[in-house]
């Protein structure tokens, strides 16, 4: 029996903060919580002084790529590069230090380059013509490759025609690969071993605990092909058996087509199948691309490129059948939808063939018009939102979709006002999984440099309390766990964090600078900042 006392232990009810001074933890769950000393009747073995600090439920990231975070930490990191030249320099240095059989990296963003030019086949050939190079944009929806990769595709008789393989003004391949074509390249990348995946998971877990995440909802199958998902599942199983998985993982299992879904079901998987801290969650469906890459599928053509509406990454009939079959087998779906066309279509299909009693969802749900919000209500679907996307997207959204659509997009407050369930996450490693940075974007409606003054579409600002709920109890709801996770109440998991400032009382512009002091899972301390300085 552990007593945690002398703290400001937070619960939020009807968007109002309630504080308790003490709580008792027994066998990983909260036994009692309150402001009096009625805990004295219990047999307390250990007392922990919270030193007057704020205590929050552990954060729950409603959509990320847990294995992808670990993979990114081990690959060539291209985050923050300011030019194609810098990409080349980092790649050459990586080759010198690692001598890889393949050079795999992620994180570049052409919008951060002075001339906004995409890296090209020739740029990658300058790095190496012998080592295959596969560098994903930060969004993960387009990549650039070198000649060695193109030759592998040609030797394997892969059709390089169509919009998924970019071409220059002369009609020659330019090295850009988009959406489903990324899977064709991924097939050739040497597959990590089970032990590699274990290490990726553990390194991602360490980073998550540092940032106060005690639960994650993750799509990990996206980093490999379906034939190799057993290695990822085995890695989780091994870590559970060795009691190494401390974070609670709800897996959003990516199925690219009906055949994969049928094989997955034949393997004996069912919704909610649980082993230790690893649980099978919804079926993830990839339906379009990203706003930055102009592959998100829109109702209308892009405002800054009249030649395209983006890419619907799955045929409508396939999407319909995946939704129906998943729901029929008891699986909710979590459909990646960024563009207005994808979101609108998906909600229509969920309403038409889905099971409304299930917690179907749209992941990202960025570009929306008012009609889409009505469809959310009609379909009963919820949204997995990444407010940190505003840090970058608010600089491009008006150019991409025009002023009218921009005004009705990223409307976090509207979800709340219309009683549409909304859970926050990060999409890491696409963006940082630092919750306080995401909270800053949701509450202040600015980038991390506090631009624009007054906030982007300020009517859509939410309160700190609403933001914390979206990062805790709403994430639990998405997994049918709202009765034992996401709040600090008797009977709930003792997953909580101690932070240095009272975020409900400080200036909201300081939100992004907050840090986690301690992270507890099941009442056990797994991260302490003082020991990690």
Q: pTM for this structure? A: 0.88
pLDDT confidence band for 533 (50 / 70 / 90): low
CA-CA-CA-CA torsion sign (418, 9, 439, 347): negative
Cα separations (Å) of 362 from 127, 193, 376, 429? 39, 32, 9, 19
pLDDT for the residue 112: 87
| Token pair for 512 | 């992004």
> Taking the CB of residue 482, how many other CB atoms lie within 10 A of it?
15
Cα–Cα distance for residue pair 330/167, rounded to 1 Å = 43
Relative to beta strand 133-137, strand 142-145 is: antiparallel
Containing H/E element for 476?
A: helix 473-478
Relative to beta strand 382-385, strand 278-286 is: unpaired
Residues 415-424: tens digit of each pLDDT: 999 999 999 9
pLDDT confidence band for 349 (50 / 70 / 90): very high
Cα–Cα distance for residue pair 143/108, rounded to 1 Å = 9
Task: Name the percent of the chain lying above pLDDT 90.
Answer: 79
What average pLDDT does the segment 102-110 reach?
A: 89
pLDDT surpassing 80 at residue 531: no
Cα separations (Å) of 356 from 341, 378, 381, 430, 450? 21, 9, 8, 31, 40
Residues 293-336: tens digit of each pLDDT: 899 999 999 999 999 999 999 999 999 999 999 999 999 999 99
| Among candidate residues 412, 344, 409, the one with its CA nearest the CA of residue 379 | 344
What average pLDDT does the segment 229-253 reach?
A: 98
- Give the residue with greater pLDDT, 140 vs 121: 121
Range of weakest confidence among 3-12, 20-29, 164-173, 204-213? 164-173
92-106: b (≥16 Cβ within 10 Å) or e: eebbeeeebeebbbb
Distance of CA 426 to the CA centre of its chain: 4
- Give the residue with greater pLDDT, 524 vs 225: 524
Torsion of CA 349, 328, 314, 160, to 10 degrees: -170
> Taking the CB of residue 42, how many other CB atoms lie within 10 A of it?
13
**End-to-end CA separation in angstroms for the chain:** 30
Q: Which residue has the tokens 């951060």?
A: 112
pLDDT surpassing 90 at residue 44: yes
Q: What is the DSSP letter of 192?
A: P
| Token pair for 247 | 């974070």
User: Which residue segments constitute the domains of the chain, with CATH numbers given?
Assistant: 2-58+489-531 (2.30.40.10), 80-137+142-178 (3.10.310.70), 193-478 (3.20.20.140)
| Among candidate residues 139, 169, 117, the one with its CA nearest the CA of residue 313 | 139
Q: Which residues contact 196 (CB under 8 A, 6 or more apart)?
A: none
pLDDT for the residue 184: 87
What average pLDDT does the segment 7-34 reach?
A: 95
| Token pair for 531 | 């020991």
Rounded to a whole number, what is the largest CA-CA distance in the chain? Answer: 81
pLDDT averaged over the chain? 94
Cα–Cα distance for residue pair 115/334, rounded to 1 Å = 36
**Contact assessment for residue 208 and residue 216, using Cβ atoms and an 8 Å cutoff:** yes
Task: Name the percent of the chain lying above pLDDT 70.
Answer: 99
Helix ranges, 140-288 (H)? 147-155, 181-186, 194-210, 229-241, 258-266
Residues paired with 524 in a beta bridge: 521
| Among candidate residues 430, 434, 423, 438, the one with its CA nearest the CA of residue 469 | 423
Task: Identify the top-confidence range among 23-27, 153-157, 158-162.
Answer: 23-27
Range of weakest confidence among 286-300, 343-357, 440-454? 286-300
| Among candidate residues 458, 456, 437, the one with its CA nearest the CA of residue 448 | 437
Residues 163-222: tens digit of each pLDDT: 888 888 888 888 898 888 888 888 888 888 999 999 999 999 999 999 999 999 999 999
> Taking the CB of residue 116, how many other CB atoms lie within 10 A of it?
9
């Amino acid at each position: 029996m552990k007593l945690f006392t002398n703290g400001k232990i937070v619960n939020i009810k009807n968007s109002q903060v309630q504080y308790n001074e003490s709580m008792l933890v027994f066998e990983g769950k909260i036994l009692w919580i309150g402001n009096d000393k009625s805990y004295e009747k219990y047999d307390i073995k250990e007392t922990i002084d919270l030193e007057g600090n704020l205590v929050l439920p552990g954060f729950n990231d409603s959509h990320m790529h847990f294995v992808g975070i670990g993979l990114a930490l081990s690959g060539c990191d291209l985050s923050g590069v300011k030019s194609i030249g810098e990409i080349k320099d980092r790649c050459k240095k990586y080759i010198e230090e690692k001598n890889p059989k393949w050079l795999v990296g992620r994180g570049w963003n052409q919008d951060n380059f002075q001339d906004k030019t995409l890296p090209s086949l020739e740029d990658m050939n300058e790095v190496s013509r012998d080592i295959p190079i596969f560098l994903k944009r930060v969004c993960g929806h387009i990549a650039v490759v070198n000649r060695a990769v193109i030759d592998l595709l040609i030797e394997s008789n892969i059709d390089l025609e169509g919009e998924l393989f970019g071409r220059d003004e002369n009609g020659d391949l330019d090295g850009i690969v988009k959406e489903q074509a990324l899977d064709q390249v991924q097939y050739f990348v040497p597959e990590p071993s089970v032990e590699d995946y274990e290490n990726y998971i553990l390194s991602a877990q360490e980073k998550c605990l540092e940032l106060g995440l005690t639960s994650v909802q993750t799509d990990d199958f996206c980093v490999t092909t379906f034939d190799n998902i057993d290695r990822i599942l085995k890695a989780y199983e091994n870590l559970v058996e060795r009691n190494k998985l401390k974070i609670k993982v709800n897996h959003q299992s990516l199925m690219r087509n009906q055949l994969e879904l049928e094989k997955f079901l034949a393997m004996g998987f069912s919704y909610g199948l649980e082993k230790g801290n690893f649980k099978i969650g919804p079926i993830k469906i990839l339906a379009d691309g990203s706003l930055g890459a102009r592959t998100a599928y829109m109702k209308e053509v892009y405002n800054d490129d009249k030649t395209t509406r983006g890419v619907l990454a799955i045929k409508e009939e396939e999407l319909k059948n995946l939704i129906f079959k998943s729901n029929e087998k008891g699986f909710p779906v979590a459909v990646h939808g960024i563009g207005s066309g994808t979101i609108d279509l998906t909600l229509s299909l969920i309403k038409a063939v889905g099971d409304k009693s299930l917690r179907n969802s749209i992941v990202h749900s960025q570009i929306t018009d008012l009609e889409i919000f009505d469809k959310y209500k009609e379909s009963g679907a919820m949204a997995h939102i990444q407010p940190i996307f505003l840090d970058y997207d608010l600089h491009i959204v008006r150019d991409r979709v025009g002023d009218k659509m921009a005004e009705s997009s990223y409307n976090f407050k509207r979800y709340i006002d219309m009683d549409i369930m909304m859970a926050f996450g990060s999409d890491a490693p696409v963006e940082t999984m630092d919750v306080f940075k995401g909270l800053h974007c949701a509450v202040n409606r600015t980038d991390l440099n506090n631009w624009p003054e007054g906030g982007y579409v300020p009517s859509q600002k939410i309160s700190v309390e609403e933001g914390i709920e979206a990062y805790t109890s709403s994430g639990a709801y998405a997994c049918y766990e709202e009765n034992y996770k996401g709040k600090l109440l008797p009977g709930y998991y003792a997953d909580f964090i101690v932070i240095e400032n009272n975020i409900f009382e400080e200036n909201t512009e300081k939100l992004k600078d907050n840090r986690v002091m301690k992270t507890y899972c099941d009442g056990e301390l797994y991260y302490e900042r003082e020991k990690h300085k």
